[in-house]
Chains A and B, each alone.
Chain A
Amino acid sequence: MLYIHIGAGSPWLRSYHIIECDTFTSGCAKTMYRNGERLSAVLVDKVFQYMFEHVSILQKPVHMYKYSNRVYRVYTYSKELKYLLETAISFAYTLRKYCRDRSCYYYVLRSAFAYCSSTESCLKSLEEWLRYMNRISERRRRAGRKALLTRLERATRMCKAIVSEYFPDLEKPPVFKVDERGYAECVSNAVKVLSRIFAQNVARRYAESICSGGNSIYIFARDSIIAVDVRYSPRDVRVYYESCIDAEKYAMVKLVAVVTTDREVNEVDWVALLGYDKLANQLFLHYVPPTLLLADIERARLWLLGLVDNWGRRELNFALVET
């Protein structure tokens, strides 16, 4: 006979652990400690708590035991139970995407588990909610991607003046196509191109990075602006200006390379800051983490100085003096 052991963890401390065994004793969790499925309790805990409380099939475990900071409930294996667990896991993950606040979370849980007196009706209810939440999440996702493209197009128009004043070459930079046949060839070709404007060691590090991340067009600036195309499949990569600033000591534009399909942003390849140091009469271009895609341009600049983290949060209480 086969049994399903569900080891309930707790959020932030212990994951959930689901295993199938031919024994119902704790020996199963001990011998199968490294096997089975592990799920973050932060994601699934509430859903499983509702399941244990409301779903009749889960209310009567054949055995219970504690092991490794989890409480294991043991149930006799059935296809129905297995399917219910799979559905509940997808439900938990989708719920996380669908709900923006706690009240929504509890509302959906209460509504979905109101029909869980029988396994069949419970499954039906969970599946209906799952379909509904997926549909709404998809609609929101597409709306967000469309809005992002609109925002980038508008910002690009607004920054045109600053770009044509300080970075006229950016409109049509020379594009160097790098051979994409293999990583080694890509790196050696990219180094040849990049060493025109960077020292050998910097050119190599950039080359390794763009060839491993790859499949995009990258922009580099030193005395002039160049573009390096390392696409190995046809992709419509476009560079937009997300924001720009013309300050006393520098002018700067935040560049975002995205792939669009059907008038929406499909992928964000990279985010970079292109600037002109007015005091030193020098161009600079540095890449920033994509998490700063929508962050304020000044905050993204502070990331370059190591003063904010990848999400733009301040790491220090600092007084900055620059020349």
Chain B
Amino acid sequence: MLYSVWGCEVSKAHKVRVYRQGDVVLEEVHVEKERLLNWECVGSRLEVRSENGSSHTLSAKVFRLNRQEYVLVEGPAVMEHPQHPPIVIEPGVYVVRFVRDWLLRERVAVD
């Protein structure tokens, strides 16, 4: 069974790949490559600084839409960090997220 996400047809049985290295989470999203290329490209390397100063790095094109970063991984790539074992990221488009915290959540004004 197929459904459409942002112009891509996706099987319901398809498992979304989610990678976590420390506080950084990469979650697979279904976006057509042509569509992604229209977004603002902010670099060819993802670098996310952790709280202790060192960085998570991944060689992949980084795009930004609505203050949210996405990475386009075109071949298997390795995300590295000095304190964590490297992790191999399969090709795909991923949204970059962080481990969340209930106390740090965005507060919604309720009238």
| B contact residues, total (Cβ < 8 Å) | 28
> Does the CB pair B20–A322 fall under 8 Å?
yes
- Known A-B contacts A318-B18, A322-B21; the reply to A209 vs B103 at CB < 8 A is yes
Partner of A321, one of B13, B20, B99: B20
Q: Which residues of A lie under 8 Å from residue B20 when comparing CB positions?
A: 305, 320-323
Interface size on A, residues (CB 8 A): 36
Which one, A4-12, A97-105, A281-289, is touching chain B? A281-289
Bound form: Cα–Cα A307–B51 in Å = 22
Contact at B102–A305, with CB atoms within 8 Å? no
Given contacts A306-B27, A318-B15, A321-B18, contact A287 B83 (CB under 8 A): no
Does B33 sit at the interface, judged by CB under 8 A?
no
Given the complex of chains A and B, what is the CA–CA distance between A304 and B21 in angstroms?
13
Interface residues of A: mostly helix, strand, loop or mixed? Answer: mixed
Q: Within 8 Å CB of B99, what residues of A? A: 284, 286, 304-305
Which residues between 1 and 46 of chain B lie within 8 Å of chain A, taking CB atoms?
Answer: 12-23, 25, 27
A202–B50 Cα distance when bound, in Å, is 12
Q: How far is the CB of A14 from chain B (nearest CB, A)?
A: 21
Q: Per-residue 0/1 for A197-216: is the Cβ within 8 Å of any B Cβ (1 yes, 0 no)?
A: 01100100110011001000
Contact partners of A1 in chain B: CB under 8 A = none
* Chain A residues in the interface with B (C-beta under 8 A): 198-199, 202, 205-206, 209-210, 213, 218, 222, 270-271, 277, 279-282, 284, 286-290, 303-307, 316-323
